[in-house]
Amino acid sequence: MSEVVFENVTKIYSGKTTIIPKINLRLPANELTVFVGPSGCGKSTLLKLIAGLEETTDGKITIGGRDVTYAPPAKRGIAMVFQSYALYPHMTVFENMAFALQIAKSSKEEIRNRVSEVARILQLGPLLDRKPRQLSGGQRQRVAIGRALVRNPDVFLLDEPLSNLDAALRVDMRIEIAKIRQSLNATMVYVTHDQVEAMTLADNIVVLRAGVVEQMGPPLEIYHKPVNKFVAGFLGSPSMNFIEAKIESVQGDIVQIGGEGFAKTLAAKVKPGAFKSGDRALLGIRPEHLSIESDGELQFVTSLQEQLGDHALIYGSVGASKCTIKTSPTRAFKAGESLSLKVQADEVHVFDASEKNVVVFEAR
């Protein structure tokens, strides 16, 4: 039961560069939490703060209720898998995995048992006598995970563990990590910029921007109920369409959205007082929630089409805004063709001037 809690944690580099302004975060015990965000958003820094590889400037970090803010890394009950694997090049796979136990002065027999047990789980048995340079990328990755598992950590930290692998291997390792996760009784924290990894592995996703938590929640909640334009645009591929629009009329909490490229107005339920008639707004709609149907709300002009076999992507514009549609395989369209798009009403997002999502989700 090792919940990781950040209380008012601040991280400032060399007295001036603020990486983490002030963060409060609770990572549930025995769940896998993924930190996502663009590069430089502080996700790796947060991980290193948990690990103790970076000093906390201010605030408190607890693991399982124990204050570890100033504890050395080895005393925190954590293990970490690094982006570059960071295997000790001059040691064999066995020695790599045994290193932590040797330092902790475990008995020879205990070390052998523990390493061979982990090696069995990760199918590393035949590789134990090899040096890291004799291993493939996927094998090195498994050794790095093994080295962390051997320590039997309460909190398991992974820093972009798959980013050095090629695409095919990455899918395999992702599934492998998901399997390990099921058999492991530990809190896991996983940093990535790959949204597929985030969506598939996470119990909870934390979306970060410039050291600030934009949103935290289960993957599908983040996907379906993004709180602002940044989160909405960050998760999902292709990313969400943002269409410049205008509030045509307001009746209670129902607004009618229209503007350039709208064939007719679109109704949405928003938070009371979010808009008044004539305000500018941003309509957010994912490519898979648009369909080509006559009598739709949007006028779409095609420019390019990609056929991917199981589905097709059509790029074009609505009014002055770029727009992408994801459909089932369809006939080829000429560039410049005008299509009518129907919007799936319960997947509409409306962003106000401060880019907050003001749509009322409870109505769905």
Partner 1 sequence: MLWLFVIVVSAFSLFPFYWAIVSSLKDPSTMFQVEYWPSALEWSNYSSIFKEQPFGKNIWNSILVATSTVLLCLFVGVLAAYSLARVEFRGRGLLLALILAVSMFPQVAVLSGMFELVKSMGLYNSWGGLTLSYMIFTLPFTIWLLTTFMRQLPRELEQAAIVDGASSWTVLYRVFLPLMGPSLVTTGLLSFIAAWNEFLFALTFTLTADARTVPVAIGLISGASSFESPWGRIMAASVIVTVPLVVLVLIFQKSIVSGLTAGAVKE
Residues that bind partner 1 (CB under 8 A): 48, 51, 53, 72-74, 78-80, 82-84, 86-90, 99-100, 103-104, 147, 151
Q: Which is nearer to partner 1, 87 or 232 (CB)?
A: 87
CA distance linking residue 356 with residue 37, whole number of Å:
18
CB 291 within 8 Å of CB 323: no
Give ∠ CA 62-202-121 in degrees, rounded to 5.
90
Q: Which is nearer to partner 1, 47 or 323 (CB)?
A: 47
Of the two residues 154 and 297, which places its CB atom closer to partner 1 in the complex? Answer: 154
- Burial status of residue 299 (CB atoms within 10 A of its CB: 0-12, 13-18, 19 or more): middle
Lookup result for tokens 């932590």: 100
Are 78 and 153 within 8 A, CB to CB?
Answer: yes
Q: Which of 327, 267, 324 is nearest to 300 (CA)?
A: 324
Closest approach of Cβ 23 to partner 1, in Å? 22
83 or 265: whose CB is closer to partner 1? 83
| Distance of alpha carbon 133 from alpha carbon 363, whole angstroms | 57
Closest approach of Cβ 157 to partner 1, in Å? 8
Tokens standing for residue 296: 């739709």
Q: Which residues contact 256 (CB under 8 A, 6 or more apart)?
A: 247, 248, 249, 250, 265, 266, 267
In sequence order, the 6+-apart residues with CB closer than 8 A to the CB of 220 are none
DSSP H helices, 28-90, are 43-51
Do residues 326 and 282 touch, judged by C-beta distance below 8 A?
Answer: no
Tokens representing residue 206 in the block: 């934390």
Which of 32, 144 has the CB closer to partner 1? Answer: 144
73 vs 233, beta carbon nearer partner 1 = 73
Could you tell me the smallest distance in angstroms from the CB atom of residue 72 to partner 1? Answer: 8
Place of tokens 């459909």: 327
Compare residues 137 and 319 and give the one whose CB is closer to partner 1.
137
